[in-house]
Amino acid sequence: MNNIFIIGVGLIGGSFALDIKELYPECTIHGIDKNDTHLDEAISLKLIDQKSNFEDLKKADLVILAIPVDATLSVLPRVLDHISDETIVFDAGSTKENICVAVKNHPKRRNYLAAHPIAGTEYSGPKAALRNLYRNKTNIICEVEETAFKLQEKALKLFSDLGMRIRYMNPKAHDKHIAYVSHLSHISAFMLGKTVINKEKNERDIFDMAGSGFESTVRLAKSSPAMWAPIFQQNKTNVIETLDEYISNLKHFKTLMEKEDFDAVYNEMKDTNHIKDILNGIQ
């Protein structure tokens, strides 16, 4: 691959750029971003080789979309309009169903691979880019049968070279499952942060008393609202369903405490401890 275009040069796009450049040092990495400051930062950090534009996409071998999911809905068809028949395009969005629907009837649907690398941090922007962010991470591929086989191979080789594990899933199932294991976690962190901030107006007290448990639980509240608000919007139905179940469990826990049934409280936590076995089994 000679010409690689990354649309959105923040944490996700920038991390791809770092590892791709190490894998393919002779390639040229082009950056496209609506924020020109981000492009300047990406060049100074050596994430990309040069700024580019949509008209240049005709010479792309690979295009990676690493932008908010609402923007992907309009940008992806535009990208497909400009590319050659030999170009593979994939996105890294945390929702898949609406994006797949948006390009379902596009003449170059065969050039697009719907992907979701399960990787990231709570930080954003070019400076947040990390080497080896994707190593040993799972990459969910949706509707693989809709992508031309030779182009699939090109993308899957890259994912393998990056050290990623591949899992195949249909878009509807992806969005439902990711609402539980990712989207709900972020909402919980944001609302925990809000609860503590509203209760403790003296921020010094919060930081003085915050232990590692609070820090790790609220870490995701530092995530970019510009990225996460569109995710919640695109996956609204599934997110609301998970919230209903989560709120029900919180109310049940509260009721047990009100009844002073601490044997039941103990058992609730003991039963949930099983999650460590599940998580250990997939690492």
Helix, strand, or coil (residue 115): strand
Q: Say which amino acid occupies 89.
A: V
Rounded to the nearest angstrom, the gap between the alpha carbon of residue 188 and the centroid of all alpha carbons in its chain is: 17
Q: Alpha-carbon distance 275 to 268, whole Å?
A: 12
What confidence score (pLDDT) does residue 282 get?
59
Nearest to 144, CA basis, from 85, 90, 82, 202: 90
Q: Could you tell me the pTM of the whole model?
A: 0.91
For residues 155 and 113, is the Cβ–Cβ distance under 8 A? yes
Report pLDDT for 283: 55
Residues shown for the chain: 283
pLDDT of residue 196: 86
CA atoms within 13 A on the CB side of 134: 26
Cα 143 from Cα 186, distance rounded (Å): 26
- CATH number at 174-282: 1.10.3660.10
Per-residue pLDDT, 210: 72
Other beta carbons within 10 Å of 248? 10
Instruction: Count the neighbouring beta carbons within 10 Å of the beta carbon of residue 135.
Output: 11
Residue 54: phi, psi to the nearest 5? -65, -30
> Which residue is it, tokens 């460590």?
276
How crowded is residue 202: how many other Cβ atoms within 10 Å of its Cβ? 8
157 CB neighbour count, 10 Å cutoff: 11
Whole-number pLDDT of residue 211: 75
Give the residues of the chain that fall short of pLDDT 50. Answer: none
pLDDT tens digit string along 196-228?
888 777 777 776 777 778 888 889 999 999 999
Query: What whole-number distance in Å separates Cα of residue 182 and Cα of residue 201?
Result: 29
* Residue ranges covered by each domain of the chain: 3-170, 174-282
- 3-state DSSP call for residue 10? coil
Domain 3-170 belongs to what topology?
Rossmann fold (3.40.50)
